[in-house]
Structure 1
Amino acid sequence: MVSALIFAPMSAMAQDMDPENTLYLDLKDGQVVIQLRPDLAPNHVARIKELTREGFYDGQVFHRVIDGFMAQTGDPTGTGMGGSGKPDLKAEFSDAPFKRGVLGMARAGNPNSANSQFFIMFDDGDWLNGKYTVWGEVVDGMEHVDAITRGEPPANPDKIIKMQVAADAT
């Protein structure tokens, strides 16, 4: 009976989530479940899902991982200078705060330069509010994000093993 009580909240959470707006991010230490936020950033969510379905993120390294701040990935060159080859996205800034577990789109100086790179917040980062696009939030597995190897770049960077839209999960 004890194990049923432990697992019941997880099952209830999973049942309440829309599989089309949920991502599974497989890391070396386990799976991270991400709730997408098309209500905040429909174009960014559409791009993330498109690239995910193409397998774009599979095998990509976390090239910038700053303790107490965030882990960044989504650059096929692993340098922080690359993108998907698709057109950049127009900013979809919102009032959603950059708190622990929030996912945002990385960009250059131009607010409309987000493409494929994204970051996951380790801690709150209020100075980013209204300046970067929030497109998702970790709802389970944050301990696996916390285990990502730190560095700019890390000497031996962690990789995304596989990222998939829950509706497509096999």
Structure 2
Amino acid sequence: MRLRRLHAGLLIALGLLALPALAETPKATPTAAELIAKSKPSEWRTPDPANLLYMQLPQGRVVIELAPDFTPLHAANIRTLVREHYFDGLAIVRVQDNFVTQWGDPNDDDSGDKSKLKPLGSAKRTLPPEYTRAIDAKLPWTPLPDGDVYAPQVGFSEGFPVARDPASGREWLVHCYGMVGVARDVAPDSGNGSSLYVAIGQAPRQIDRNLAIAGRVLEGMPYLSALPRGSGPLGFYAQAAQRVPILSVKLAADLPAAQREKLEVLRTDSASFAAIVEAKRNRHDAFYAVPAGKVGICNIDVPVRSAPAANAGHG
């Protein structure tokens, strides 16, 4: 027995017998908050005030960024509606659980009095669908590596979640949580932006390319997602008293700079955003013992923050 121990000790000393490797604790993946804290000022963008809507509800303000590069005709028509105060005094009329919150003219509902519809003013009554557009190679494109069920490719462009089909040369915005779409009737050109909705539940990707997406909510989602669900068909409120009034909707560009929200959005073509994507794909810490190794397009929230004091004067 002593000879065996001595022989083993000699082999170890000579480096010929390996000892069992000590288990190393994997380094914890940095959180999104930690990565954001280390980001550079140049990695953030200030949204164009001409593309920002402020929807004032009794509960608070909802900030929506339009996506004119994807749905330019709808963005222009929505700006016209806002500047002519079309939405002021209208209401949130529908909250369907795990689907959407919708707002517009209550008289436009199936049971509404069409003779009392609010005039559209100089806004267009109908618009081409704008469900997809030709792939624009000039715009930034940050692809995700893990594929998608609904499209050949997915990624981010200008802060928005986008799907692509290289074979057809088309791309389109996708219905992730917080994306704002244009409600319509059966006719594809019947959506003009006078009735809008926001996805509040599991991403309803099945309606991609069937409705125009006008933008996304940057701030104030709880005011839209936490509302009581409607009891009528498709989540419409059965009683007028249940509707949430819209006090006003304004365009940031029409307000003095001092009255604008000082928000910044992390550039989706930045190194910090790429790090956040990778951290979500391979998150590992005391709680996440098993990293997913993949991430879906709608599982990534593009960070939005209040502008640091040094930058608060621009935009």
Shorter-chain TM-score bucket reads 0.7 to 0.9
Of 127, 130, 148, 1:89 maps to 127
Matched, 1:143 2:222: yes
Residue matched to 2:213: 134
- For residues 56 and 149 of structure 1, do their structure 2 counterparts lie closer, same or farther at Cα, with a shift above 3 Å needed? farther
For the pair 1:113 / 2:190, whether they are aligned, the reply is yes
Distance between the aligned counterparts of 1:111 and 1:129, measured in 2? 13
Asked if 1:153 is matched to 2:237, the reply is yes
Report the TM-score, using the length of structure 1 for normalisation.
Answer: 0.84
Cα drift, residue 107 of structure 1: 0.6
Whole-angstrom CA distance in 1 between matches of 2:218 and 2:109: 28
Question: What is the CA distance between 1:149 and its match in structure 2?
Answer: 3.3
SS at match of 1:33: strand
Structure 2: which 5+ residue stretches go unaligned? Answer: 1-36, 133-171, 231-235, 260-315
1:29-59: CA deviation from partner (whole Å, max 9, x where unpaired): 1111111100110010011110011110011
Could you tell me which residue of structure 1 aligns to residue 163 of structure 2? none
User: Is structure 2 residue 241 aligned with structure 1 residue 162?
Assistant: no
Asked if 1:122 is matched to 2:204, the reply is: no
| C-alpha contact (below 8 Å) 1:64/1:154 kept by paired residues | no
- Could you tell me which amino acid in structure 1 is paired with residue 98 of structure 2? G
Please give the per-residue CA displacement for 1:67-125, whole angstroms capped at 9, x wherever unaligned: 11111112252525666544211100032111110010011111111121111110211
Separation of aligned partners in 1, 2:222 and 2:100:
13
Deviation at 1:28, TM superposition (A): 1.8
| CA distance, structure 1, for counterparts of residue 101 and residue 127 of structure 2 | 21
Aligned partners of 2:252, 2:61: CA distance in 1, in Å? 12
1:27 CA displacement: 1.3
CA radius of gyration, larger in? 2
Q: Do 2:94 and 2:101's aligned partners in 1 also have CA atoms closer than 8 Å?
A: yes
The change in CA–CA distance for 1:52 and 1:149 in structure 2 (over 3 A counts) is: farther
RMSD value, Cα = 2.3
1:161 and 1:15 map into 2 onto residues whose CA distance is 29
Partner of 1:22: 52
Distance in 2 between residues matched to 1:62 and 1:110, nearest whole Å: 23
Gaps of 5+ in 1: 1-7
RCO higher in structure (CA 8 A, sep ≥6): 1
Cα pair distance change 1:118/1:45, threshold 3 Å? same
What percent identity do the matched residue pairs reach? 33
Change (3 A) 1:67 1:154: farther
Whole-angstrom CA distance in 2 between matches of 1:35 and 1:52: 13
Following TM superposition, the consecutive aligned residue runs of length 4 or more in structure 1 with deviations greater than 4 angstroms are 12-15, 80-85
Contact 2:57 2:247 in 1 (8 A): yes
CA distance in 1, matches of 2:44, 2:75: 19
| Distance in 2, Cα, partners of 1:74 & 1:24 | 15
Instruction: Name the counterpart of 2:179.
Output: 102
Distance 1:58 1:148, change over 3 A: farther
